[in-house]
Structure formats: structure tokens, C-alpha cells
């Protein structure tokens, strides 16, 4: 029976709402991991997911419109769209799943919530909640009620405005943003929040690439990628640190295939040797469909979890010994080189090998690839950022690029691979709790007010404020805050401690079930849908990981006549809340998004003449000062950083655990329970362990175990009933899927300076589960 066809079991009305997914009774079926990605299985999976959600004609219509110049931008990853070889079907398997989920013909209407309490719904899996379909009506959970009921838009807005106006301080509200929000919605959202009087604008960046932004800003004065998609495809060497493109951003595989066919040497540095980096069967090529694979990685370094600084120190040490540095670039454009060189000379190979889990020979092979490269591109994802030393990890990537002079040259540089479709654009539009004063000055001048200057709350600080009762209203613009955040139980207590929780959403998720005293769900249009406002049909814009801005035009009729666009929701809330306090014409902005873009053009650097440029085919690229070797640091020079090799307080029977995605999910959205590339079928509560670590603990494949996390000065956290999967992972390491394992991530365990939760540096022990 399909997951979404199961009935919701009856539950006593007084039963508590579950903050975590239910346990799984049986272990998954295991098969040998794949050695290549894509191909016919990707096509079959894409088609199967789409046809389960909608009919064939609707499937073809969405497939032909996604990531096209006159179509809509995929709601999945932020990978760039090619200029010269864009396919008719310009999407990947996970993109197909995301499209099907949004364009589904299934509906989660008021009858679902009338029939089932929040407690009953919370007993279902995240996959079941996702599979119920699109939200169709505004909903409210009134104080004392155990379920949602329909509410008018006017009453919903009035209730939110009443709670916000009743706060003793604007800082008593938290305004969260997901990375799928458009540039236009993000801009009016931050304008509303700052006119309300706070900078409490946490977003999903806080939990993923915040470490990258902090690190790059300090090292090179620019927090984004420095290369274009076309340059990556023409590089002669590409390093992929801490990422799994085959699952997390599969369209990257096409670009890596282009580079590999041009002779690029691809090096992966990751605890797991993922199928997507080993080989790629292009599903739009006849040979790919027949199972013929293009080899990608030339070298894989199975670094231990958080061993990247040690590995990079080894590479840098060798490059200096070989005299491979670009001395002219270092002299003309950098500072701090001597301190780095001294630290590298003082670091011994025993420490490097112990810290990285690699041999000197393995590191030498990678260093030789870097030394021989003329156009080196360094890519990375959350495998580097979600550690307590996440900033240091990224700064050592910058050190490598600086030492070799790989910044500013055509076809060489740094590529920060973002995991959500417009998470970078949200930050560009001002979704940040610490926007610089010059940006706020322009915003204030444009709209005739003085924006607040006190820094706001990031994600972790927002949870802490809710726990303390200092933040009483939570508003989420998309996303699944509860499941995405660390320390699931603490996050749930924080949300339950609020007077009001509000979510703007397209689908039901667990965050909507763990509520404040009062809760409101506001259903919004998706990217696939036509957005009609007073002046006619509208489009929105997004920024991809390569700083390219393009339009997104919905093609489908809305799932319900009750849906409103994100822009309309924000403008409606702002008008009700601010009233005469604001001189902004909120209705005018909602009626015509060109007016929003005109404001953006005068506030946000790089968006001059926004409306005209974004209507050009393919959009436009934002200027990158690094390409001209202009470094916006205090000294005007790029900075080498020096950090120690991290040490972890790990006991003799303990392991270092990282959380990862299954192939059948996008972030916290669960589409199914098939991780076919790793050979895990029919389950998600698994822990990957080296076979020797399994044997050393007297365990066996498929055995049910409890995972216990350990953090200094805090009680142990326990995640029950995970199943053992022997796997090729470094000794002393473990891997689990999120969000199921987020309960093990301590709230206080976060990256220095960026405050990113250390979801990939969790010290755990494993013990057999009791029946």
C-alpha cells in the first residue's frame, strides 16, 4: 500500500503532538551501493513520481517549462542554467520530484484538518504529511483547540497584526525565511520586518552556508562564488569538497561531465565515495540511457569527518615545498602569507595524517593535481560548513586558491554550491539579521524611514529566545523550521512557548503541527503557478549559485482560488500591521511587481535597471569584484588565514557522526524511502558504520540500535531505533539521515563566528535498542 494511502490512526484527544517522525518497525532492505548516477533509473524515477502526482499532460507541461528562459525556475537546488547547451528537459531527478510535489493534483483541504487532530497528524511520517497534497485554504488553530479550521484571509491577517502590535518590543517577533522565496517576496518581507522595527530575520542560510559567507568575506571580501558556470565547465581541475552532487544538486553532474570530457581532473574529498562523483550516465543521451557511464572523479580522498583542514594543510605544505605557489599574485594581492607558511612548516605529517585520516601519499596525489592545474575550480557544500570550525574549513579552501593565484583568472576560482533555489538571492535582498549600515542607509532613504541598526537573531539565537520567552511570535516564510533546525526537541519547546506561530506554505509539514498557543497556516502559490494581480500576470526573479539573476514565470492554474502569492501575503500582513506607521504603498507593490523591482534597483547594488535587464534572455550576472582582483577587505588585499587542525573529544567507544540526505528527499522534504545510490531501500532510520566498527561493538547488519550524542556539560540526547548499515566510511565515523537525527545535534554546538549548527560533528555512541 502506498505511504500516502494509509489511514491516520485514531489517537486520544489529549495525546501530545510528536515533534519527531515515528519509529520504523523493520530494517530496510540493503543492496550493493551504485557506482554511477543518472541513466534510465533516474528517468524512470522522475516519471513515476510525476505520474503519481499528476496526469501525463500536466507532467509534460511542467517538464517543458522548468528552467527555460520563458518558464519557471526549479524549486530544488540553485545550480545555474547553461547558456549554450540548455536541454528541452533542463532538470534532474530531484527537480522532477520537486515539480511533481508542487504541481500535484492532490489537495490537503479543510476536510483533512477537520477529520484529524494535530496529534493524530503528527503520528504520521514526514513522507505521509508531504503526500497529502497542496494546502488550499487559510487555517487557524485557535487557543485550546486540537486542530486547524478554515479562516478568512482578513481574519488571519487581523490575528497576526493583533499579536505583533501587542508585543512589548518588535524584537519579540521572529521572521524566518526559506531559500525558495523569490527576490521580490524577500525584499518586501525584509522591508515589512524593518519597518515593524526589528532585524530578527533568521533564514536557512544560517543553517547551511553561513560559514561560507563569513569565511569568504574575511578572506577575499566577497561571500559568493567567483566563477561562472561556463568557466567551471572549462576548468582543467575541479576539487569537490564535502558534497554529494548526485543527490543534492544532480544538475551539477552534467557540468562535471562536460569538464571531464574536456580533460578536467576531478578530485573528490569526502568521507563517502558517492556514486554521483564516480560516474554519470546522462539521461538525455542515448548511451547514458543504455547504461554507458562517463567517469568523473580521477581521485577520491576518503577524508575522515571534519578532516579537511588537516588534508588542506598537507596539500599546502607540499605546494610550498615544491615551489608551486604563484609568488607574484601572493606578493601583489595578499597578506598573511608568512604566518601561514610558518604554520605549515611547523605542522608535522603525523598530525596531518591523524587529523585527516589520509596517508601522505593520498594527499600528494591531490596536491599534484592542484599544482599542475592552470584553471582550478574549488567546489564545496555543507560537508565543510556544518562544523564548529566550519569557517576555518572554508578559509583553507580560500588559502589554496590564493596560494596558486586562482582568483581573478578566467576559469579559476571558488564555487560555493548552494542547496536551495534562491537562498543566495534572499540574502542579496536583505534577508539577514546583520545587514551592513550602508545597505540599510539606502533602504531607509528609498522608503523614508530609519531602519533598526541593532543586529537581530540568527536561527540558533531565535530558538534560544523562544525558549526563554523573549520571542513570542514566530512567522515562517516557507520552509520546515522545526525539522531543519538543530536539537529538535528544544526547537519544539521553543515553538510551543510562543503565543503565535504562523507559516506561509504550499504543503503540510511537521513544523505546522508543533504550534504556539495560536497558529495560522497561510497557503501560497508555488513557482509553477500563474500569479495574477491587479495589473495582470506577474513573474518573479531568483539568483542562482553563480550570481546570475533570471525570471520565473508560472504556467499552471493555481491549486486553489484561495491561494495568494508570497508577495501578496507579505503586503497584506504589512498593511494590517503597520497601518499609518508606513508610507509604503503595499497594495501598489502587490499589484505590480515591476514597482518592487524599481525599488530594488535603487537599493541593492548590481540591480540597476533591473526590470529591463531581467527581461533579457537568460537574465543577467551580478558584478563580482574578485574577477578584477578587487578584494573588499580593510586592507584591500586577500587574507591568508591560519587555524589549528581541529581536535574532537571522542572517547574510545564513541564515533563522530554527520547528518546527510537520502536520495529520496530534498532538504527536509521526504519524497520516499529509497536511497538507491547507497543501496538502502524501504527505510530512513539507518546509521552507516565502517564494518570494523560494527564488529568491534558486537553489532550486525540490520540490528536496531539507539544513538546517543554527547556534548560537554549537557545531558545525553538519544535517538531511538536506528538500523545498522555496514558501509565504506572511515573508521571512527558515522552517517545518518536528517531530519531524523537532528535531535542529536546540540543547540549550543555551532560554528565559531557563523553560528551554523554543527550537524556534521556530533559525537555519539551506539548501543543496542531494547525490544
3-state secondary structure 314-327: HHHHHHHHCCCCCH
**120 pLDDT above the threshold of 80:** yes
**410 pLDDT above the threshold of 80:** no
Report, as an integer, the average pLDDT of 726-754: 97
Neighbours of 716 (CB within 10 A): 11
**Phi-psi region at 554: left, alpha or beta (left = phi > 0; alpha = psi -120 to 50):** beta
Are 186 and 425 spatial neighbours (Cβ–Cβ below 8 Å)?
Answer: yes
Nearest partner of 34 among 286, 279, 297, judged by Cα: 279
Question: What is the structure's pLDDT at 81?
Answer: 82
**546 pLDDT above the threshold of 70:** yes
Cα 349–Cα 353–Cα 356 angle in degrees, nearest 5: 135
- Take residue 640 and report the three cell numbers written for it: 591568508
Are 330 and 403 spatial neighbours (Cβ–Cβ below 8 Å)?
Answer: yes
Nearest partner of 486 among 719, 750, 212, 721, judged by Cα: 750
Positive or negative, the CA dihedral 76, 81, 82, 84 is positive
Question: What is the structure's pLDDT at 380?
Answer: 97
Question: What is the structure's pLDDT at 4?
Answer: 38
Q: What is the DSSP letter of 498?
A: S
Helical pair 593-603 and 437-447, crossing angle rounded to 10 deg: 130
Counting DSSP H helices and E strands in the chain, the numbers are 31, 34
Q: Would you list the DSSP string of 500-521?
A: EEEEEESB--GGGTS--SEEEE
**Coil, strand or helix at 467:** helix
**Distance between CA atoms of 576 and 558, rounded to whole angstroms?**
25
Phi, psi of 269 (to 5 degrees): -125, 105
Report, as an integer, the average pLDDT of 683-702: 98
Q: What global pTM score does this model have?
A: 0.95
Neighbours of 493 (CB within 10 A): 15
Question: What is the structure's pLDDT at 15?
Answer: 81
Q: Domains in the chain, start-ordered, CATH in brackets?
A: 11-23+651-768 (2.40.40.20), 108-205+423-524+564-604 (3.40.50.740), 210-416 (3.40.228.10)
Nearest partner of 763 among 686, 701, 712, 709, judged by Cα: 709
Query: Which helix (H) or strand (E) is 445 found in, with range?
Result: helix 437-447
The pLDDT tens digits of the residues spanning 3-56 come to 433 444 444 445 899 999 999 999 999 999 999 999 898 889 888 888 999 988
Q: Where are the alpha helices (DSSP H) in 262-307?
A: 275-278, 286-289
- Take residue 286 and report the three cell numbers written for it: 542515448
**334 pLDDT above the threshold of 50:** yes
Contacting residues for 17 by C-beta, under 8 A, at least 6 apart? 118, 119, 122, 513, 514, 515
Per-residue pLDDT band for 715 (boundaries 50, 70, 90) equals confident
Are 684 and 740 spatial neighbours (Cβ–Cβ below 8 Å)?
Answer: yes
Neighbours of 154 (CB within 10 A): 11
Bridge partners of 476?
Answer: 176, 503
Are 123 and 511 spatial neighbours (Cβ–Cβ below 8 Å)?
Answer: no
Question: What is the structure's pLDDT at 249?
Answer: 85
**388 pLDDT above the threshold of 70:** yes
Positive or negative, the CA dihedral 13, 15, 17, 20 is negative
Question: What is the structure's pLDDT at 77?
Answer: 81
The pLDDT tens digits of the residues spanning 509-521 come to 999 999 999 999 9
- Take residue 539 and report the three cell numbers written for it: 513573474
Question: What is the structure's pLDDT at 164?
Answer: 98
Neighbouring C-alpha atoms within 13 Å toward the C-beta of 286: 0
| Higher pLDDT, residue 180 or 144 | 144
Per-residue pLDDT band for 85 (boundaries 50, 70, 90) equals low
Report, as an integer, the average pLDDT of 183-210: 97
**Distance between CA atoms of 98 and 503, rounded to whole angstroms?**
19
Question: What is the structure's pLDDT at 179?
Answer: 85
Question: What is the structure's pLDDT at 14?
Answer: 57
What is the largest distance, in Å, between two alpha-carbon atoms of the chain? 73
Question: What is the structure's pLDDT at 6?
Answer: 40
Query: Which helix (H) or strand (E) is 437 found in, with range?
Result: helix 437-447
Question: What is the structure's pLDDT at 339?
Answer: 98
Question: What is the structure's pLDDT at 84?
Answer: 67
**Distance between CA atoms of 84 and 401, rounded to whole angstroms?**
28
- E strand intervals along 524-649: 531-533, 536-538, 540-543, 548-552, 620-621, 638-639
Of 397-411, 434-448, 565-579, the range with the lowest mean pLDDT is 397-411
Q: What is the DSSP letter of 567?
A: H
**Coil, strand or helix at 250:** coil
Nearest partner of 659 among 636, 626, 684, 639, judged by Cα: 684
**Distance between CA atoms of 181 and 189, rounded to whole angstroms?**
10
Report, as an integer, the average pLDDT of 274-280: 95
Question: What is the structure's pLDDT at 65?
Answer: 81
**Could you give the dihedral angle defined by the CA atoms of residues 571, 577, 578 and 580, in that order, rounded to the nearest 10 degrees?**
100
Please state, rounded to an integer, the average pLDDT across all residues of the chain. 94
Amino acid at each position: 500500500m502506498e505511504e500516502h494511502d494509509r489511514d491516520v490512526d485514531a489517537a486520544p484527544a489529549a495525546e501530545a503532538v510528536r515533534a519527531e517522525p515515528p519509529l520504523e518497525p523493520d530494517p530496510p532492505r540493503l543492496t550493493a551501493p551504485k557506482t554511477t548516477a543518472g541513466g534510465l533509473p533516474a528517468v524512470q524515477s522522475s516519471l513515476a513520481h510525476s505520474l503519481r502526482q499528476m496526469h501525463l499532460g500536466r507532467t509534460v507541461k511542467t517538464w517543458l517549462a522548468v528552467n527555460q528562459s520563458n518558464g519557471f525556475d526549479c524549486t530544488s537546488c540553485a545550480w545555474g542554467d547553461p547558456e549554450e547547451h540548455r536541454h528541452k528537459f533542463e532538470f534532474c531527478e530531484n527537480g522532477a520530484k520537486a515539480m511533481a510535489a508542487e504541481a500535484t493534483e492532490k489537495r490537503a483541504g479543510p476536510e483533512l484538518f477537520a477529520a484529524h487532530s494535530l496529534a493524530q497528524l503528527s503520528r504520521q511520517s514526514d513522507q505521509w504529511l508531504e503526500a497529502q497534497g497542496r494546502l488550499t485554504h487559510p487555517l487557524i488553530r485557535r487557543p485550546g483547540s486540537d486542530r486547524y479550521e478554515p479562516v478568512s484571509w482578513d481574519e488571519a491577517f487581523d490575528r497576526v497584526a493583533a499579536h505583533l502590535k501587542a508585543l512589548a518590543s518588535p524584537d519579540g517577533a521572529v521572521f524566518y525565511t526559506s531559500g525558495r522565496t523569490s527576490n521580490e517576496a524577500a525584499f518586501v518581507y525584509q522591508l515589512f520586518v524593518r519597518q515593524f522595527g526589528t532585524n530578527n530575520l533568521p533564514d536557512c542560510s544560517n543553517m547551511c552556508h553561513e560559514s561560507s559567507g563569513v569565511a569568504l568575506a574575511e578572506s577575499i571580501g566577497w561571500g559568493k562564488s567567483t566563477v561562472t558556470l561556463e568557466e567551471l565547465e572549462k576548468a582543467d581541475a575541479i576539487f569537490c569538497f564535502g558534497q554529494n552532487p548526485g543527490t543534492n544538486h544532480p544538475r551539477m553532474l552534467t557540468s562535471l561531465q562536460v569538464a571531464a570530457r574536456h580533460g578536467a581532473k576531478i578530485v573528490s574529498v569526502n568521507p563517502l565515495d558517492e556514486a554521483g562523483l564516480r560516474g554519470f550516465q546522462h539521461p538525455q543521451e542515448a548511451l547514458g540511457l543504455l547504461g554507458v557511464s562517463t567517469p568523473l572523479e580521477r581521485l577520491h580522498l576518503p577524508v575522515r569527518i571534519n578532516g579537511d583542514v588537516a588534508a588542506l594543510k598537507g596539500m599546502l605544505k607540499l605546494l610550498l615545498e615544491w615551489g608551486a605557489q604563484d609568488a607574484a599574485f601572493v606578493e601583489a594581492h595578499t597578506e598573511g602569507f608568512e604566518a601561514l607558511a610558518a604554520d605549515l612548516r611547523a605542522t608535522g605529517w603525523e598530525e596531518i595524517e591523524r587529523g585527516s585520516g589520509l596517508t601522505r601519499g593520498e594527499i600528494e596525489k591531490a596536491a599534484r593535481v592542484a599544482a599542475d592545474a592552470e584553471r582550478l575550480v574549488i567546489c564545496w557544500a555543507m560537508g565543510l560548513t556544518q562544523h564548529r570550525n566550519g569557517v576555518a574549513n572554508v578559509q583553507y579552501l580560500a588559502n589554496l586558491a590564493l596560494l596558486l593565484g586562482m582568483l581573478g583568472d578566467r576559469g579559476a576560482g571558488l564555487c560555493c554550491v548552494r542547496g536551495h533555489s534562491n537562498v543566495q538571492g534572499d540574502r542579496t535582498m536583505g534577508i539577514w539579521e546583520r545587514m551592513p549600515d550602508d545597505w540599510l542607509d539606502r533602504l531607509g532613504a528609498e522608503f523614508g524611514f530609519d531602519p533598526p541598526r541593532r543586529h537581530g537573531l540568527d536561527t540558533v539565537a531565535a530558538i534560544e529566545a523562544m525558549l526563554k520567552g523573549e520571542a513570542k511570535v514566530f512567522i515562517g516564510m516557507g520552509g520546515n523550521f522545526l525539522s531543519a533546525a538543530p536539537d529538535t526537541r528544544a526547537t519544539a519547546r521553543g515553538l510551543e512557548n510562543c503565543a503565535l506561530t504562523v507559516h506561509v506554505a504550499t504543503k503540510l509539514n511537521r513544523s505546522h503541527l508543533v504550534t504556539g498557543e495560536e497558529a495560522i497556516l497561510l497557503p501560497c502559490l508555488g513557482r509553477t503557478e500563474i500569479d495574477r494581480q491587479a495589473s495582470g500576470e506577474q513573474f518573479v526573479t531568483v539568483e542562482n549559485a553563480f550570481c546570475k539573476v533570471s525570471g520565473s514565470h508560472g504556467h499552471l492554474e493555481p491549486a486553489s482560488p484561495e491561494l495568494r502569492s508570497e508577495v501578496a501575503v507579505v503586503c497584506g500582513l504589512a498593511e494590517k500591521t503597520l497601518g499609518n506607521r508606513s508610507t509604503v504603498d503595499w497594495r501598489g507593490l502587490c499589484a505590480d511587481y515591476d514597482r518592487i523591482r524599481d525599488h530594488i534597483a535603487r537599493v541593492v547594488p548590481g540591480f540597476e535597471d533591473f526590470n529591463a535587464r531581467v527581461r533579457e534572455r537568460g537574465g543577467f550576472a551580478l558584478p563580482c569584484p574578485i574577477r578584477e582582483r578587487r578584494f573588499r577587505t580593510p586592507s584591500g588585499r586577500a587574507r591568508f588565514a591560519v587555524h589549528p587542525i581541529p581536535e574532537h573529544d571522542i572517547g574510545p567507544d564513541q564515533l563522530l557522526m554527520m547528518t546527510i540526505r537520502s536520495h529520496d528527499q530534498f532538504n527536509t522534504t521526504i519524497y520516499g524511502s529509497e536511497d538507491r545510490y547507497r543501496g538502502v531501500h524501504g527505510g530512513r532510520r539507518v546509521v552507516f558504520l565502517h564494518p570494523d566498527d560494527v564488529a568491534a561493538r558486537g553489532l550486525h547488519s540490520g540490528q536496531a540500535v539507539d544513538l546517543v550524542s554527547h556534548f560537554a556539560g549537557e545531558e545525553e540526547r538519544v535517538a531511538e531505533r536506528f538500523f545498522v548499515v555496514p558501509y565504506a566510511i572511515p573508521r571512527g565515523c558515522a552517517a545518518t539521515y536528517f531530519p531524523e537525527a537532528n535531535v542529536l545535534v546540540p543547540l549550543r554546538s555551532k560554528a565559531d563566528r557563523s553560528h551554523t549548527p554543527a550537524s556534521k560533528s556530533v559525537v555519539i555512541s551506539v548501543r543496542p535498542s531494547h525490544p
